[in-house]
Amino acid sequence: MTYDEKLRKQAYDAIENHQGMVKKDLYYPTYHIAPPVGLLNDPNGWIQWKGTYHLFFQWMPFHSGHGAKFWGHFSSEDLVNWTLEPIALTPSQWFDKSGCYSGSAVSVDEKLKLFYTGNVKNELGQRETYQCTAESVDGITFTKTGVKIDLPEGYTPHFRDPKVWAYKGRWYMVVGAQTDNEVGAVAFFESNDLDSWTHRGILTKADQDPLNNLGYMWECPDLLELNGQNVLLFSPQGLQADGIDFNNQYQSGYVVGKLDYEKAELSHGGFIELDRGFEFYAPQTTLDDYGRRILVAWMGVPDQNESAQPTIANGWVHQMTLPRELTLVDGKIYQTPLNEMEQLRACESIEQSVSKELATSISRGSEIQIEGEISTIELFNYTTLSYDKNTELLTMERPSYVDGSLETRSCRLPQGLYHLRIFVDHSSLEIFVNYGEEVFTSRIFADVFEDSIRVQGRVNVQAWDLKNDTIQVG
């Protein structure tokens, strides 16, 4: 048995031995992707290939902490029903023995090609990083094809998460990086064959306007086009909280501008947070066959009290967001649930006009739409969403799962609050505000038997119970 085969067997044994305990956890989601066992984090290799959507993910199958990551793999024909596929990558080679870290996927010559960061801790405990590839002819079984990029000069070994795309017959790559003087940056590469890469330089970094002091490391870059403009998504680490902004341990956001491919320069505006909730990180997008730019993110944040989440006791932690479509309106990204999410609806549970207050019960797997003059929504006697017309602030409040103290996240809505679309799963909320103007993504760990909802305002409320059998892991 090879080392790769041994790792795969150990991972499958972990699923077999612990899947029963995981699935019995009443916090385990019913329609969101979550690990079959262990820890899930960054989405990887997000792509529609030959009509099928493939979502790979960072996975630690042996415990609920971080470590030498695998690439797990889900696939879907419709973005609603997902199947767990065989393991795509294991940390089994000299160049990735300490973890197959995050990356992306492209289609070329009828093959699905993965780009990822090989993480190595050498004998002295020092980090080494390599940008590596693997490929498949069936989208299921992958063969590693080795190292394509060694660490360039000018960067520390915190150099990872390659995102690759094609433009006018050439291939391009961005990599999240830290410069030698410990400044977050995005490195830019070019290739004509996906094998030999030229380092074109730094597209943008944290010690230049308008991004001064924007952190010591930038992870998970993704450069895309929306409405004729270039958008750079990335996750900077090291930002200080500033009022209602940057209140998570690490952030995720974007800049909007224009990439000059010839000069390898990205001119852009300031940094905008992508999600205003408690748990959202490492977003990755793909352009599907219908021309939609679709985002998926990890519903978690590194080093943000992960070990305190109650699901740890049952052998799993974290989940993914639902896929969202991105559009750019007046320089701001709007995020909306895909039309396919309506297929999740099993039956309507509420349809009611409310003049002052509605107090009722709701399933822990629900979609809720509220329209009108919205004041306050309280869910499960645990989470409150309230809008203050005087301050123009929408605020989400929940008890900390560390010590129970109340904590908040907020955004400003100058045009007021007039529409909410909320997806409730057993331990998560995704709240789309004003048709995607803002989004709050968060985990919630209310009493598992609590089902109360209270809505205040002059509103129309509609809700649906959602399906609970859309994720197949065995």
The residues annotated with a catalytic role in the active site are 42
Residue 204, both tokens: 């943008």
Residue 21, both tokens: 């305990």
Distance CA 212, CA 239 (A): 10
H helix runs in 25-156, sequence order: none
For residues 371 and 351, the answer to whether their CB atoms sit within 8 Å is no
Distance CA 333, CA 278 (A): 19
Distance CA 398, CA 409 (A): 9
For residues 250 and 235, the answer to whether their CB atoms sit within 8 Å is yes
Distance CA 249, CA 132 (A): 29
Residue 465, both tokens: 């119970």
DSSP string, 375-405: EEEEETTTEEEEEETTTTEEEEEEE-TTT--
What 3-state class would DSSP assign to 225?
strand
Long-range contacts of 400-407 (CB under 8 A, 24+ apart): 400/305, 401/305, 401/308, 401/309, 401/310, 401/443, 401/445, 402/305, 402/308, 407/278
User: Rounded to an integer, what is the distance from CA 190 to the centroid of its chain?
Assistant: 26
- Please provide the size of the chain in residues: 474
Cross-sheet strand order for the sheet of 198-205: 155-167, 170-179, 184-191, 198-205
In angstroms, what CA-CA distances link 247 with 226, 241, 277?
Answer: 27, 5, 9
Cα separation of the two ends of the chain:
24
Residue 11, both tokens: 């991972």
State the DSSP code for 241. P
- Containing 22, the helix (H) or strand (E) segment is helix 3-24
Distance CA 340, CA 367 (A): 13
